[in-house]
Structure 1
Amino acid sequence: MLAALATPLQYCKGIGPKLGERLGEKGLLSVEDVLYFLPLRYEDRSSIKKIKDLVPGVNQTVCAKVLAAGETRYGRRKVFEAAIGEAGEFVSAKWVNYRLSYMKARLKLGQAVMLHGPVTRFGYQLEMIHPDVEIVDDGEAGQPSVGLSAVMPVYSQIENFHQKTARKIVRSVVEEYAHKSVGGLPDDVIKRHRLMDIGAAFCALHLPTAVPVADSSAKKSLVFDELFVMELGLAMRRAQLKREDGIAHTGHGGRLTRLEEALRGLLPFKLTAAQEKALAEIKQDMAVPHPMNRLIQGDVGSGKTIVAFMAVLRTIESGCQAAIMAPTEILAEQHYLTIHRYADGLGIKTALITGSMKKAARIEALSAVNSGSVDLIIGTHALIQKGVDFARLGLVIIDEQHRFGVAQRAALRTKGADNVRKGASPDVLIMTATPIPRTLCMSVFGDLDVSIIDELPPGRIPVETHIIKERDRVRAYELLRAELESGNQCYIVYPLVEESKELSLKDATSMSEHLQRDVFAEFKVGLLHGRMKASEKEGVMREFKAKKIDVLVSTTVIEVGVDVPSATAMLIEHAERFGLAQLHQLRGRVGRGGKRSVCLLLAAWTPSEDTFRRLKVIEESQDGFRIAEEDLKIRGPGSFMSTQQAGAPDFRTSFALADLTILKKARDEALKYIAHNPALQGLEGERIKKVLKARWEGRLALAEIG
């Protein structure tokens, strides 16, 4: 049954290779992907209103034809307006944020459309501002035709696909495969919480006979099933780690002693109370003969690196080597330069290993690592490649966990600790600058112990943050120009790499050309985005750091950390599209050099009050943990974690964390089950084991499954 869910879509009835490839671009590769491709909302076509019956102030659905459509102006603002009507009545639909070619192609004269959204009244005229639009084919207009339910699921847009096509594909897959789905819940848990079979839940959500309520039994059942299996995996992983052999770092046995005391004498500042607390927790873990697995959460600039370096000192005092792995070469170099100046004064030998090293330098560095003459090795994924062998690896520090896969982390753990003691694993310390609300940490990072540095060193200059509107764009450019003319640099961040047929948003590629040609012609504008090769990205960042680029146009790839002290201004386009935590991370790229810095949040018009409430939090606060908590309150845990911060598990159901009470219940049930059946034995245990293996084995490194 589980094998059937892994069937590639191209082999499903009515799909084939070409259609399968197009669906794959949306992330729909297998039968299981489609089953979990749940509707965004539902349209109850039995309650479609006639235009004359529309009531202002209420979300409603209307179906009619396009009588007229085009771009018009209201004062200085351009608006795309369409008259949608029937039998002498019409409603005016308006869009402020749009792409003209897309709207013209979609809203052709005479085209039947379905609009869904809030109805308002402007003078005597009924209006719908930014309504959802669905193109309606003749067979679907008005009352549903034979074979169609009165309740229509509406799916996330797949480029160039009408909703009718998406519905037809999903219906076909659900009808053939939903009953073959295998859930991971024990029978008594299903009964105790009144849950549905997973196959029945898929049918209820994709093929409903009535509009499912927000907390429907079907949704709850899918969420409970997913969270239970995840929490089971985390509990097994944690138990597995606690049983592993590790290295007790006592601070004796190495060639160097009293390193921490010496370092404190060199530092021009004292550690904050939060740093001292995190350090004490790390030392406690390192003293026992089992591997440490700890996550340090700290805001941008909170001093995580120096705490991690003190853990390195304890390792070296105990006669072992330490490794720091960063996601990019430029970040590895940054760590090397930060740490090197203190390491030299303490007599610690360091080495930097990256993929772009010259052959002779690489051979020399690898030989030193293998012989044990180097104490601290800093590098990128090059550290886990063949030929990199440590003499006595005792500690692995990973910067920004979510930039590495589980397999990469596991590979570094298996290198060299065996030479300290047969079968031993090194300690692992993970650093992340992404604050996660405390309420989520225990459940989503259940296999890690967590230390929090929630205090910034005194004297840091806060980054001035301002929300600005589209009409103030020229003023924003003038502010950036003033910074550039003062010899500083700036970032301009966009949500997209290139123009999208689906979304009417400005994109980094075309805007970088426009900015260079029309706005900042006398300055050098560079472009950075995630689709570039790693070497290209590194090259652009090096040029920016060397001040060969003045304005860096980028997507969110700059979210994680390079320090450019002369970058003092940032403009974030379509700030309404980003989560608060992500905006806070982006803002952290400026203000790194002690100069006054500014971050401008350019937000397009939106009818959502939540959007501006969220942006106001960023404007008023510099505290990453407060921002994370506010983000959690406003968007809910599901949306908050959707950015996959700090290596959080990725969920199949987008609303998996929408209700923290379900998360707690699922966790409690998983811990109870693993306590009485730790090996997952028996028919039920075997079924759960197979589901756990299929869903989470690769992502949780569960060596004991199977």
Structure 2
Amino acid sequence: MLPIISSNSPIEHLKKVGPAYLKVLHKVGIKTIKDLLFYFPHRYDDFSQIALISQLKIGQTATIQGKISEIKNIRTWKKRINITEALIQDKSGGIKAVWFNQPYLTTTLKKDLIVNLSGKVTFDGKNLCLSNPAYEIVKKQSPVHTGRLVPVYHETYGLSSRYLRFLIKPLLSLAYKIPDFLPWQIKKDFGLVNLNSALEQIHFPNNLESAKKARERLGFDELFMTQLIVLKQKQDLLKEKAPVIPFKKELIQSFVKKLSFILTDDQRIAAWQIFQDMEKPRPMNRLLNGDVGSGKTVVAAMAALAAVKAGYQTAFMAPTEVLAKQHFETFKTFLKNEKVSAALLTGSSQKLLGKKTGKKINISRLRLKKQIADGRIDIVIGTHALIQEGLAFNKLALAIVDEQHRFSIAQRAALQKKIYQIEDGLPTIPHLLSMTATPIPRTLALTIYGDLDLSLLKQLPKGRQKIITKVVVPAEREKIYKFIEEKIKQGRQVFVICPLIEESEKLEIKSVTEEYKKLSSKIFPKLKIAMLHGQLKSKEKEGIMKKFKLDQINILVATSVIEVGIDIPNATIMIIEGAERFGLAQLHQFRGRVGRSEHQSYCFLFTDSSAKKTNQRLKALLKSENGFELAEKDLEIRGPGDLTGQRQWGLPDLAMASLTDLELIQKAREVAKKVLENKLLTPALQEKIRAFQNKIHFE
């Protein structure tokens, strides 16, 4: 007896799912029929208009309907390919259809059957033909693969769209048995269709308008869930207690007067927002979002100083050892007259900055950890190993996390949880200040960072020279190489960033190695060139960076992911190979690595692409120096998945796609607020939240 199928039935209960397909379906997270119904297409092929054969033109993608008058298999002996040829006729004429290596088609598509064929019209040297078209035998039921808007799914692990359509179409009636968790009033207020109708129309829409309405409803659901989770986190945090750090005006005024530069208005506003947060008895959860070179570190140093002078400790976490060491040196400069003790603690080294002398002291790891636990160290700077080492503090009141943009929602939530669980010697939890140098578009700020208060640093310090940016085509390379040689003779240094290869870190390392060999043996054989990539050990990376900083290396060739915050004032030229592979915001980040001294700086965007769209996009970088503007433009042109050059936000596809729709995000946020304020978290909604959290691996 066959099992009764429901939306909660395991996928293996379907006749068409054998062991091989079951393994693949499980790989993409499809374990039940409900999971299958929520596996959405990412686009549609419009095969809805049936054309007459006599009206077909070369290059056209079309659907025809006709009778098979002949079908046969041919084997080419030279290339050993099986070719299936069929002649299809309608009332206006006939056309040949050709399929490669699918000999079984002659048992499916038999002579005299009426079929729909959808595909591209090509020319075989003599006649027009349809090359490898989608096919479907015309029956009384509505078509699935042709003659309609046809759903196209992500075809991972050999899962074809045809197979998924074959599975999903007969199951659509089960969509009407899935409870709709959105209250009818919300659907009415925001013009959203019912869940069951959205599920049917997302897979097999009647028309483009129906598909749009379905995507809007399902995209809204995902954004709404995201908003509920981040706003609930914010709400829960308000119930917690944090140490009160009073604002001492004289202390901060004295610190600012000693700086060798004038703070921008944005820096002053951000610092004031942080001081106000820390004066409250509930935990701060703020994101300091600064453009490249906008001076986030000095704002963080002011917050750390306020915490220390109130009698508390601060932990500062950077994503890499190189950056942690750089921050340690920067803090040393900023706080040299403040009688503050600071320590550096990373996987490979530990250092102590004496409170009285302000000088570095060698210390054993064990002794340093004990001094931190006793509360004798005011500021501890390190990597995220600080929270993984089981390090104990005595009175930790402020945690600062640098480069937050590298984390997905799930990773950020896990990191936050660990910070709040640090053994800090206090009955409260620490204030949390996150920092990122990736300008975040407004829509992302409302979704992925919806639980954080935001401070923006858009202004750059006065006196910064404009970086000359140029798109370089292959014919101009020689000229640029000569220019670089001249600048190096004048004592300048150069960064070379290699193309982004998302699929494989190994391929990225290969591209760095090849570029290094080309530059050192063919183009600049007399210059000192080094390479840097993620597979090098910390000690090796540190040694190379030290040599580069001491001007013992002329050109540094690196992968795209290398140390976004590295500060080398003497490096005035940035070359980006394969510039078309990066997003505008990321290119802007690389450009910001130069232009940090009084010397004129340059950014050369090397590209082999002649595509008009690529050149238009790269030219946007020539016109704008505002990272926030470029991030918005990137979102518009390339879509949210590419904002930092990697799909890392941890959101489902429809929510990702909806990140360009500010109105929909605001709708979802408004509804989520209403639900939380009015305590409308029904059991169905709580269950949906749990399922969604599992989907995006929130915990």
Q: How does 1:299-310 map to 2 (within 5 A)?
A: 299-310=291-302
Deviation at 1:174, TM superposition (A): 7.4
CA shift, 1:374, in A, is 0.5
Query: Residues 18, 616 of structure 1: CA spacing in aligned structure 2 closer, same or farther, 3 A cutoff?
Result: same
Deviates more, 1:563-572 or 1:330-339: 563-572
Contact 1:49 1:62 in 2 (8 A): no
| 1:405-463 deviations in Å (ceiling 9; x for gaps) | 2212321232244x33x2x1111111111222346534542211111122111001222
In structure 1, the residue matched to 2:459 is: 455
Query: Displacement, 1:361?
Result: 2.2
Shift of 1:631: 3.7
Equivalent residue number for residue 286 of structure 2 = 294
- Once the two structures are overlaid, the 10-residue window that deviates more, 429-438 or 331-340, is 429-438
Q: Partner letter of residue 151 of structure 2?
A: P
Give the Cα separation in 2 of the matches to 1:33 and 1:546.
58
CA 1:519 to 1:626, structure 2 compared with 1: closer, same or farther past 3 Å?
same
* Larger CA deviation: 661-670 vs 346-355: 661-670
Select the residue among 588, 593, 600 that pairs with 1:584. 588
Match of 2:226 among 227, 230, 235: 230
Q: Do the aligned partners of 1:49 and 1:60 also contact (CA within 8 Å) in 2?
A: no
* Counterparts of residues 486-505 of structure 1 (less than 5 Å): 486-487=490-491, 488-496=493-501
Q: Who is 1:469 aligned against?
A: 473
- SS at 2:596 equivalent: coil
Whole-Å separation in 2 of the counterparts to 1:433 and 1:40: 33
Q: 1:141 to 1:612 in 2, by over 3 A?
A: farther
The two structures have a TM-score, normalised by structure 1, of 0.74
- Residue 160 of structure 2 aligns with which residue? 165
Q: For the structure 1 residues 201 and 147, does the alpha-carbon distance in structure 2 shift closer, same or farther, using more than 3 Å as the test?
A: closer
Separation of aligned partners in 1, 2:395 and 2:155: 53
2:369 pairs, out of 366, 370, 374, with 366
Pick closer, same or farther for the CA change 1:313–1:211 going to 2, 3 Å. same
Residue 238 of structure 1 aligns to which amino acid in structure 2? K
Contact 2:498 2:511 in 1 (8 A): no
| 2:420 maps to 1:413 | yes
Paired residue for 2:692, among 675, 692, 695?
695
* Mapping 1:6-405, distance limit 5 Å: 14=17, 16=19, 20=23, 32=35, 35-36=38-39, 38-44=41-47, 46-47=49-50, 53-54=56-57, 60-61=60-61, 114-115=119-120, 136=132, 148-151=145-148, 152-155=150-153, 158=156, 165-169=160-164, 171-172=166-167, 179=175, 185-198=182-195, 200-208=197-205, 210=206, 212-213=208-209, 216-250=212-246, 259-357=251-349, 361-404=364-407, 405=411
Matches within 5 A, 1:434-449: 434-438=438-442, 440-449=444-453
Which residue does the alignment assign to 1:615? Answer: 618
1:624 equivalent in structure 2: 627
C-alpha distance in structure 1 between counterparts of 2:452 and 2:170, whole Å: 40
Tell me the equivalent position of 1:563.
567
Give the C-alpha shift of residue 48 in structure 1.
6.6
**CA offset digits 1:325-350 (Å, max 9, x no partner):** 10001100000001113323211000
| Alignment of structure 1 residues 489-528 onto 2, 5 Å | 489-496=494-501, 508=512, 510-523=514-527, 526-528=530-532
| Structure 1 residue 9 displacement after superposition | 10
For residue 234 of structure 2, give the secondary structure of its aligned residue in structure 1.
helix
CA distance in 1, matches of 2:29, 2:534: 21
How far residue 377 of structure 1 moved from its aligned partner, in angstroms, is 0.5
Q: Against the structure 1 CA distance between its residues 61 and 699, is the aligned structure 2 distance closer, same or farther, given a 3 Å change threshold?
A: closer
- Tell me by how many angstroms 1:397 deviates: 0.7
8 Å Cα contact 2:547/2:553 also seen in 1:
yes
Q: Distance in 2 between matches of 1:156 and 1:529?
A: 31
Contact 1:497–1:509 at 8 Å: present in 2 too? no
The answer to whether structure 1 residue 575 and structure 2 residue 579 are counterparts is: yes
Q: Which letter maps to 1:277?
A: I
CA shift at 1:292, angstroms? 0.8
Q: Give the paired residue count.
A: 617
Unaligned runs of 5+ in 1: 65-85, 91-104, 106-111, 118-124, 126-133
1:283 is displaced (CA, Å) by: 0.9
1:14-38 Cα distance to aligned partner (Å, 9 max, x none): 47569957995xx778675994453
C-alpha distance 302-138 of structure 1, shift in aligned 2 (>3 A): closer
Aligned to 1:658: 660
The alpha carbon displacement at 1:697 in A equals 7.1
Higher deviation after alignment, 378-387 or 259-268:
259-268
> Aligned pair in 2 of structure 1 residues 138, 234: CA closer, same or farther (>3 Å)?
closer
After superposition, what is the alpha-carbon deviation per residue over 1:142-170, rounded to whole angstroms, capped at 9, x for unaligned? 999986332433445658x5xx9343246
Q: Deviations over 1:349-373 (max 9, x none)?
A: 0001111137972212111110001
Greater radius of gyration (CA)? 2
Aligned residue in 2 for 1:109: none
| Alpha-carbon distance in 2 for matches of 1:261, 1:15 | 72
In structure 1, what is the equivalent of residue 669 of structure 2?
667
Q: CA 1:698 to 1:21, structure 2 compared with 1: closer, same or farther past 3 Å?
A: closer
TM-score, normalising length: structure 2: 0.75
Percentage of matched positions with identical amino acids: 34
Change (3 A) 1:380 1:145: same
C-alpha distance in structure 2 between counterparts of 1:525 and 1:4, whole Å: 61
Secondary structure at 2:288 match in 1? strand
Aligned equivalents of 1:221, 1:451: Cα separation in 2: 32
- The 3 A distance-change label for structure 1 pair 13 and 627 is same
Gaps of 5+ in 2: 1-5, 65-87, 96-100, 102-116, 352-362
* Counterpart residue number, 1:101: none
2:599 equivalent among 595, 600, 611? 595
Q: What secondary structure sits across from 1:657 in the alignment?
A: helix
Offset of residue 470 of structure 1: 3.7
Q: Is the 8 A contact 2:439 2:628 kept in 1?
A: yes
Q: Which residue does 1:100 correspond to in 2?
A: none
Alpha carbons of 1:268 and 1:211: their partners in 2 closer, same or farther (altered >3 Å)?
same
1:579 to partner: Cα distance: 2.3
How far apart in 2 are the matches of 1:115 and 1:142?
20
Determine the C-alpha separation between the residues in 1 that align with 2:642 and 2:400.
Answer: 26
**SS in structure 1 at match of 2:314:** strand
Counterparts of 2:339 and 2:659, CA distance in 1: 49
Q: More displaced, 169-178 or 476-485?
A: 169-178
Query: Distance between the aligned counterparts of 2:664 and 2:302, measured in 1?
Result: 39
Report the CA distance shift for 1:366/1:211 in structure 2 as closer, same or farther (over 3 A): same
Is contact 1:294–1:430 with CA below 8 Å preserved after alignment?
yes
Structure 1 residues 475, 354: CA separation in 2 closer, same or farther (over 3 Å shift)?
same
